[in-house]
Amino acid sequence: MDVGTATATMLLAAHSIGLGAGPSTSFSRAAVATLLKLPGELRPELIVCLGHAANDQPPPVRRRSEPSWDELIQWERG
């Protein structure tokens, strides 16, 4: 819970000063621990990437139409 609370606070703080931010949990924990020279009892759990957004953003991905209930539900029939 502490990691989640700290991450939410960091993401909100970054947004408030105009930075883009995104969390990542897909990384080599061993490599990060080595690079940061972390003691053995500390284990990196999450990385927050911070930066300025690019001036030219790609257009958002939009669905052509909303899915119908038939596309979302699969009824098992015996």
Place of tokens 């991905």: 61
pLDDT tens track for 41-68: 999 999 999 999 788 888 888 777 887 8
pTM, full prediction:
0.61
β-pairing, 20-24 vs 47-51, is antiparallel
SS3 75: coil
What Rg, from alpha-carbon coordinates, does the chain have?
20
**Which pLDDT tens digit goes with each residue over 5-16?**
999 999 999 999
